[in-house]
Amino acid sequence: MKVENGIACFDPERDGRTLFFPREAERAIFDAECINHLIAAGFERIELEAGNVHFTLQNDCLLDRGGNLLLAQKGATMSEGGYIKNICDFSFPCYEIREILRIPEGVEALGCDVFRGKIKKISLPASLKIIHEGAFRHTLSIEEIEVDEANPYFRIENECLIDRARKTLLYACGDRVRIPDGVRRIGRLVFLDHRFREIVIPASVEEIGLQNFFYIASGAEGGRPDFIRATHARIEAVKDSFAENFLRVRGLPVCTGRSA
């Protein structure tokens, strides 16, 4: 590791599987490129030098003094205790198998690409207020999501995780998805893989976030971009609805039922 202007920068080839935060490290930057390097290097362990006043290491989780969870080492757990306020982007870079992942009470926000690996069940607390639309992008094997009944921001219906205020679908469990009526928006990255076999979209959907159903590839110069299918699911939408038009314009197959 090297520290420049108080920013911790990691060199996996030099540091091996242990990330060492020296006493003078003031803040750390974790982006997608950094996390990919850590995964490639087989990152497993975090060490924090005694005397560092900017970070704490609790249950193998690196936090700043504001309660933001920045990075967790392999096998780390988040115990109850209320010391974590926000789980930041890319916090759990190691691909692991976890039967149940419980987000502790007190956590208010989940960032982008937070978890990776095979997680069967996720339990969300009443305190949770914000979930990034790409929070569960690398956890495609979730069979069940549980939301505390006292949480006013999110709900589960038809095995779908829904943001109540924005009427937005954030995640869908299983391979056959029936999006509930009333959902207005499909969030980014929900349908960007090949595990889905059937997706039913109601007429209430008025917006579909980026990176759903297809990848965008560059077409000929000055020409129309190519839309490459990212799922081979049977997609059903209401005839003349927004979803049907959205998919047909992009050359993606869609089955239609009754008129909107």
Model pLDDT for residues 224-234, shown as the tens digit of each residue: 667 777 778 89
pLDDT computed for residue 77 by the predictor: 86
Compute the distance between CA of residue 169 and CA of residue 164 in angstroms, rounded to an integer: 9
Superfamily, domain 1-152: Ribonuclease Inhibitor (3.80.10.10)
- What's residue 259's pLDDT? 52
Residue 128: the pLDDT is: 97
The 10s digit of each residue's pLDDT in 17-49 is 788 888 888 877 777 877 877 777 777 888 888
Considering the entire predicted model, what is its pTM? 0.86
Positions of the chain with pLDDT under 70: 1-16, 80-81, 217-225, 257-260
- What's residue 3's pLDDT? 45
Strand locations in 54-213, DSSP E? 55-58, 61-64, 68-72, 86-87, 96-102, 109-110, 117-124, 130-131, 144-147, 154-157, 160-163, 168-172, 176-178, 185-186, 198-201, 207-208
Please report the pLDDT score of residue 139 as a whole number.
85
List, for residues 3-12, the tens digit of each pLDDT value.
444 455 555 5
- pLDDT at position 229, please? 75
Tokens standing for 129?
């207020």
pLDDT at residue number 22: 80
Instruction: Show me where the domains of the chain are located.
Output: 1-152, 160-260
